[in-house]
Amino acid sequence: MKRALPGFGLSLGFTLVYLSLLVLLPLSGLVFKSSALDLGQFWDIATGERALASYRVSFGASLLAAAINAFFGLIVAWVLVRYPFPGRRFVDSLVDLPFALPTAVAGITLATLYADTGWIGRQLEPLGLKVAFTPLGIVVALTFIGLPFVVRTLQPVIEDIEPEVEEAAATLGATRWQTFRRVLLPGIFPALLTGFTLAFSRAIGEYGSVIFIAGNMPLISEITPLLIISKLEQYDVIGATALACVMLFISFALLLAVNGLQWWAANRHHGKERTSL
Amino acid sequence: MSIEIHGVGKRFGSFVALDDVNLHIPTGELVALLGPSGCGKTTLLRIIAGMETADAGHISLAGEEATQLHARERKVGFVFQHYALFRHMSVFENVAFGLRVKPRRERPSPAEIHRRVMSLLKLVQLDWLAERYPSQLSGGQRQRIALARALAVEPRVLLLDEPFGALDAKVRKELRRWLRRLHDEMHVSSVFVTHDQEEALEVADRVVVMNRGRIEQIGTPDEVYSNPVSPFVYRFLGDVNVFHSRLHGAWADVSREPPEADEATQPPSGDRGRALAFVRPHDIHIESAPIAGGIEATVQDLHTIGPLVRVELAHASELVEVELTRERADALHLQKGQRAWLKPRQVKVFQVAEEALEEGGSGI
């Protein structure tokens, strides 16, 4: 049977080849390399004390940073879309800065700012808060690099909300909070999840900015990518690939889960079958 | 619930949307705000609803001062042109929304909410769609759901902003009759905004014709149509032939006593003002043989529109449009290029300043 949209075979073939070359091939190479280890060895490396601590730091800090970004990114996106104010375009372009800035530069800048002697660190010190060279510093760096993902994902969706929907809710007696909670948030939620996922994945893979601010103390503020690098520096390539495989697996599982959640959020509002009348 | 609008004004920057508008809408009436786009009708409706604040003046609902009340406290139902349904909620949840967001002590029990929502859905004849989502409905169905949603909170006043504007002609006609019946059953005061004169004349108890932020005329559909107080109203409510003084002079001459003509019958001299004669196309008598007091014209074009025939004739340099029934047109055997004699049955003459001639409105 002929399809209404031509070029399906060709474009699907292209997509598969492209994805294979770019994503699948390097990743399978990684898995292949780690198969030089037998299961017991693999397990020992993957669950070493230092490795386990680094997973906790990596995934914990990433999750926290993504959550912070989801919350504040939503506010930033909302303000940028909804309220015209002088300098809005300028502020809008500021959001992209973490994309463009070399991550090392960001890391060094943040470390300088948040160190005991830095502008911000000096204010926090008397409060007993140490940011630079602690896990908290990692969260700060990951929040910095993740912000644009949330804001840029949300902006078009917020632009799409008709102001009438809010007005309708108001005439029906809903308070601002009820309008947000019941009317606006459900519409934004799938995009918020996407932004969260993007920020989260970016944070897991981040290396450059973190190593400057983290302090990199084993068991406390050492992220998995750094552990991989240090293994490589000791010519322990196999050990590094084993850790990389674990990261790959956890990331993939998490992304799959979030994707499923997203699919559920996007589809629960459209009924089972789509009939047009 | 009556609505009292007193001295309301609103500006958007330098644009005057409303200028000292006064209007009283008695309980139980269905009122149409009619006017061209940009005349301020929607702004007025939004001010009544509390979605926009007036720069000047007062609004009271049921005798209570409401100018400072927030939209959610005014207890008005609002229906939007583009429905503004909540996309992620089922039809049932859309209608139930107003009940679910009530403060706990006023909120009906779940069973009561279910009962009320279903009875509203029955009222709009869509109870079989309760589980669907707005994206699965047609435009007419969406608008009926929007109406049911607005009625769920038992509003004192129902406000509709071009409710049928986005629908096709047939559905629009059906829905407006249905709205009329609904209004009579619900015992609310309703105000709807429209730019469609046919809709306003057919449905409303009273029509408020607006232009440039002001009210031009308030009256029953019959009053505003047969007795327009200004050239604008005349032009806006249906097609009209406008004759400038020269031709009008000829007609004033031949028809001797034009019905409805006022003191301005004589064409004035000088450029300060001019008399304009307004004649509706169906108010012109047409004959294929000379008649006393008729002016001669040549048939330029004939259009048959359903049961009506619209004839365009030229008299000197002026174009005259005449509407007659098909039967009558057949009897006259009108053809292009043929000569015919015209005589107005009803003429209304306005003395107008020159600038006002260029004002909006349809006409020739």
Continuous segment of H or E residues that includes residue B16:
strand B15-25
- Cα distance between residue A171 and residue B70, in whole Å: 9
**Does position A276 have pLDDT exceeding 50, yes or no?**
no
Q: What is the pLDDT of residue B100?
A: 93
pLDDT in tens, B323-360: 888 888 888 888 888 888 888 888 887 776 554 444 44
* C-alpha neighbours within 13 Å on the C-beta side of residue B14: 0
Instruction: Tell me the sheet residues that pair with B348.
Output: B278
User: What is the chain B residue with the closest CA to A189?
Assistant: B88
**Does position A249 have pLDDT exceeding 60, yes or no?**
yes
Chain A positions in Cβ-Cβ contact with residue B71 (cut-off 8 Å): 167, 170-171
pLDDT in tens, B72-118: 888 899 999 899 999 889 999 999 999 999 998 889 999 999 999 99
Establish if B56 touches chain A: CB-CB under 8 angstroms: no
**Does position A258 have pLDDT exceeding 50, yes or no?**
yes
DSSP state of B5: E
- Cα distance between residue A210 and residue A57, in whole Å: 11
Q: Do A269 and B89 touch (CB under 8 A)?
A: yes
Chain B positions in Cβ-Cβ contact with residue A174 (cut-off 8 Å): 72, 97-98, 101
- Cα distance between residue B208 and residue B195, in whole Å: 11
Rg (CA), chain A: 23
- For chain A, give every domain's residue range: 40-269
- Cα distance between residue B27 and residue B4, in whole Å: 11
Cβ-nearest to B136 among A174, A178, A274: A274
Question: Which residues have C-beta within 8 Å of that of residue B275, sequence separation ≥ 6?
Answer: B245, B248, B264, B265, B266, B267, B268, B349, B350, B351, B352
Establish if B53 touches chain A: CB-CB under 8 angstroms: no
H-state helical runs in chain A = 8-19, 25-34, 39-46, 49-82, 88-94, 97-100, 103-114, 119-124, 135-160, 163-171, 176-178, 185-205, 208-214, 224-233, 237-267
Cβ-nearest to B135 among A167, A171, A270: A270
Question: Which residues have C-beta within 8 Å of that of residue A271, sequence separation ≥ 6?
Answer: B90, B131, B132, B133, B136
Q: Is A241:A26 a contact under the CB 8 Å cutoff?
A: no
Closest C-alpha among B36, B44, B34 to residue B10: B44
Q: Is B338:B299 a contact under the CB 8 Å cutoff?
A: yes
Q: What is the pLDDT of residue B171?
A: 85
- Cα distance between residue B80 and residue B300, in whole Å: 44
Phi, psi values for residue B76, rounded to 5°: -110, 150
pLDDT category at B160 given cuts 50, 70, 90 is very high
Q: How long a stretch of residues is chain A?
A: 277
**Does position B253 have pLDDT exceeding 70, yes or no?**
no
Q: What is the distance, to the nearest Å, from the Cα of residue B107 to the centroid of all Cα atoms in its chain?
A: 38
Beta strands at B15-25 and B339-344: parallel, antiparallel or unpaired = unpaired
Establish if B157 touches chain A: CB-CB under 8 angstroms: no
Stretch A132-146: mean pLDDT: 88
pLDDT in tens, A93-105: 999 888 888 888 9
Residue at token pair 């010190």: A125
- Cα distance between residue B322 and residue B242, in whole Å: 12
Chain A positions in Cβ-Cβ contact with residue B88 (cut-off 8 Å): 186-187, 269
Residue at token pair 């008397």: A126
pLDDT in tens, A185-238: 988 988 899 899 999 988 998 888 888 888 777 888 888 888 898 888 998 888
What percentage of chain B has pLDDT greater than the value 70? Answer: 88
**Does position B43 have pLDDT exceeding 80, yes or no?**
yes
pLDDT category at B65 given cuts 50, 70, 90 is confident
Q: What is the pLDDT of residue A3?
A: 67
pLDDT in tens, A161-172: 888 999 999 999
- Cα distance between residue A179 and residue A185, in whole Å: 9
Beta strands at B284-287 and B318-325: parallel, antiparallel or unpaired = unpaired
Q: What is the pLDDT of residue B251?
A: 58
Establish if B72 touches chain A: CB-CB under 8 angstroms: yes
What is the sign, positive or negative, of the torsion defined by CA atoms of A127, A131, A133, A135? positive
Q: Tell me yes or no: is domain A40-269 CATH 3.50.50.60.
A: no
pLDDT in tens, B278-318: 888 888 888 888 887 778 888 888 888 888 889 998 887 77
- Cα distance between residue A213 and residue A136, in whole Å: 9
Q: What is the distance, to the nearest Å, from the Cα of residue B282 to the centroid of all Cα atoms in its chain?
A: 20
Instruction: Let me know the angle formed at the C-alpha of A113 by A112 and A118, rounded to the nearest 5 degrees.
Output: 85
pLDDT in tens, A76-92: 999 999 888 898 889 99
